[in-house]
Structure 1
Amino acid sequence: MQMSPEALSSFLTELKEWVSIETPTTSPEKVNELGRLIMARAKDAGLAAEVHSGNKDTRGAPLGDHIVLYDPERMSNEKGILLLSHIDTVHPIGTLAHTLPWKKEGDRLYGPGIADMKAGVLLAFRVLAALSKKSHLPIRMLIVSDEEIGSPSSRRLIEEEAAKAQYVLVTEPGRPGNGVVSGRKGVGRYFITCHGRPAHSGRAHAEGRSAIRELAHQILALEDMTDESRGITVNVGLIDGGTGANVVAEHASAVVDLRVPDEATGTEMNERILALKAVNPDVELTVEGAINRPGYVKDKGITALVKKAETISHADGQVLFDLSTGGGSDGNFSAAMGVPTLDALGIVGDGAHTLQEYIEISSIPVRWNLLTELVLQK
């Protein structure tokens, strides 16, 4: 199903409206503002909406709501197709006005969250609205609000919806050159806290027990767990601590990102990280966290989806490739359940999570055709 020039123009107009509503995960009121807009458009298209409370993240901060869209005339127990997307972004409020404005440069269209993944959400929404009565299987679309922080609130809902599907299509941004994702690493997030003994760094230095010193030992131990040959990376991405240069630090903390190729390696690394012990017994060390996204590899079901996508692309005069990547997505959850999952079916773009985030305008009709045919073909 080809996209007309009028449909492309309409797509770009609506996309600008969506990007203008900045939706960092940490601003649930803005996430819900866009969610309400999407539900209004869904109602206009004759679709029904279920709203699921986003509750709170692992640190107790509030989250936006999650939305399930579907055609109420196609309610059945038949397993169908799940379109999986998220509307939260990593960019803080003000990015659009100050550092990453909406702009067009040649074939590139820039804006915060435009690739990851508002263009992909809009694509999936329009496919659902256009094909909900035409597809060979019933379609449901799940839009979550917390993907960028590991989906702590939406994971159960994702798994519930995936269990109702024959296959899952995830609209994370397509890779430059018309790439899709057929495998992803597992992801773990850990919080390291050190509690020492404060002291004046001049007159009573020996009385102190530095939490920063202890954290430094732990950082080196964590970073040394990286083993590129096995596909394992451990990255200490955030650190905090101390109260002043002349004070032996009482507190220090770090946030750690773990990537692993499969479930067995994830179990191994999770145990290693949680087993960390303080080098200085006078400093209290606390390690919290877990694997929050299981890894998955290209299996028989995913291979079949890739072959179907390749055939569709070839008929459209396009070359499509698939790859496995270290980045995680909500597709990790459905694929780990054994539900065939094809990821990165959104609009092709790059620069996600940076101030150079963009999509390729020319890829919009290409990805429209790919996703519509994946939904329509048996």
Structure 2
Amino acid sequence: MNLLNDIERLVSCESPSTDLAAVARSAEVTAEVGAALLGSEPERIVVDGRTHLRWRLGSGPRKVLLLGHHDTVWPIGTLERIPFSVQDGVLRGPGCFDMKTGVAMIFHAVAALGSPDGVTVLVTGDEEIGSPSSRGLIETEAVEHAAVLVCEGSADGGALKTERKGTSMYEVTLHGRASHAGLEPERGVNATIEAAHQILAVTQLADDVTGTTVVPTVLSSGTTTNTVPAQGKFMVDVRVRNLAEQLRVDDDMKTLRPVLDGAKVEVDGGPNRPPMELSASSALFELASGLLPGITQAAVGGASDGNFTAGAGVPTLDGLGAVGGGAHAEHEHVLVSELVPRTQLLAALVRELT
């Protein structure tokens, strides 16, 4: 199967987001695979050293944007430990599910349509680190189109992703005052204790009813075991289902106040991706379910570049790529039996929308 061969080519070129040279190499391999199927070279758009690829097919008004990314979370050398393989109907390899199989599916689906007019394919190189250099490109491109199809891997059981939580990221810095922990601890202002107060305050911003999660993650404080810490720092991951919740949490994070006398609290960061709400995907899911009866939908906590396009007001359907699982995990895999039917679904959606 040519599709399997192309997936192998993409997976076999490692592309951790933080390695600019690796991303550039991956972009060239992706460009070669795409050009062979689409019949034209892509535009290579380099922003802050990161390579993004764009094919604009046909000369008519833009109708459908097919969106994917060729970067992964896996460091160079992972391929030696987890090589590309297909065994008992399961495909494995770093980045196979998230989302190099989806990129190959885009190329094959569009190629199956001959010469579709008004179709744009955009494959970016920094999605796994929050799309810092491609967000503007994605949003600008999306608003020229009537619909966006995102070929990230499916949800459990092959469900399409019709809702994605929005994300916000914060760095909270606690400023205290150092002193000797044994001789005169009372003269210090303990940044570790202030961090504990603030972490407990931050966790109270979560809301089980609305599905809002507020999770303190990485924590550091202090310099030596016998010194009252003068500074501490922790990170916060926020996930929300709607914009109102994202703004509420942002306001509350920005108004954190110190508990200890003499301490200071500094909050940096904010919303990274807006939520992809059900209203953005409902019409496209209805179309997809008519083309593949029985297909299901799911709301997920993870974000993608589809959050940006939905946030820009463009109808967006996500999870149209590989069926499998294990994104970012050792058991990342793709079900080979689903490759052809899901690629056919993608092609049918593009045909209907153009």
TM-score surpassing 0.5? yes
> What's 1:16 paired with?
8
Give the 3-state SS of the residue equivalent to 2:167 in structure 1.
Answer: strand
- The alpha-carbon deviation at position 103 of structure 1 amounts to 3.6
Mapping for residues 130-209 of structure 1, pairs under 5 Å = 130-131=112-113, 133=115, 135=116, 137-209=117-189
Contact conserved, 1:88 with 1:146, CA < 8 A, in 2?
yes
Spell out, residue by residue over 1:289-321, the C-alpha distance to the aligned partner (whole angstroms, 9 max, x if none). 11111113222x63221122112113xxxx200
Between the aligned partners of 1:373 and 1:129, the Cα distance in structure 2 is: 12
Which of the numbers 36, 53, 60 marks the counterpart of 1:67? Answer: 53
Contact conserved, 2:243 with 2:275, CA < 8 A, in 1?
yes
> What's 1:54 paired with?
47
> What's 1:92 paired with?
75
Mapping for residues 310-349 of structure 1, pairs under 5 Å = 310-314=289-293, 319-349=294-324
Q: 5+ unaligned residues in a row in structure 2: which ranges?
A: none
Between the aligned partners of 1:272 and 1:365, the Cα distance in structure 2 is: 47
Mapping for residues 1-378 of structure 1, pairs under 5 Å = 9-44=1-36, 45-55=38-48, 64-71=50-57, 74-76=58-60, 78-98=61-81, 100-131=82-113, 133=115, 135=116, 137-299=117-279, 302-314=281-293, 319-378=294-353
- The alpha-carbon deviation at position 230 of structure 1 amounts to 1.4
Between the aligned partners of 2:343 and 2:180, the Cα distance in structure 1 is: 64
Between the aligned partners of 1:103 and 1:210, the Cα distance in structure 2 is: 53
Between the aligned partners of 2:289 and 2:262, the Cα distance in structure 1 is: 60
Q: How many residues were matched structurally? A: 352
- The alpha-carbon deviation at position 132 of structure 1 amounts to 5.6
Amino acid at match of 2:95: G
270-279 or 38-47, larger mean C-alpha shift: 38-47
Contact conserved, 1:185 with 1:326, CA < 8 A, in 2?
yes
Between the aligned partners of 1:20 and 1:42, the Cα distance in structure 2 is: 16
Contact conserved, 1:132 with 1:139, CA < 8 A, in 2?
no
Contact conserved, 2:30 with 2:70, CA < 8 A, in 1?
no
Contact conserved, 1:184 with 1:328, CA < 8 A, in 2?
yes
Between the aligned partners of 2:133 and 2:245, the Cα distance in structure 1 is: 25
Between the aligned partners of 1:42 and 1:324, the Cα distance in structure 2 is: 30
Between the aligned partners of 1:334 and 1:191, the Cα distance in structure 2 is: 26
Spell out, residue by residue over 1:43-95, the C-alpha distance to the aligned partner (whole angstroms, 9 max, x if none). 4442232222232xxxxxxx522221223xx123x131100111222222232
Between the aligned partners of 1:91 and 1:282, the Cα distance in structure 2 is: 43
Contact conserved, 1:48 with 1:70, CA < 8 A, in 2?
no
Between the aligned partners of 2:282 and 2:40, the Cα distance in structure 1 is: 31
Kindly report structure 1 stretches of 4+ aligned residues shifted beyond 4 Å.
Answer: none
Give the 3-state SS of the residue equivalent to 2:206 in structure 1.
Answer: coil
Q: 5+ unaligned residues in a row in structure 1: which ranges?
A: 1-8, 56-62
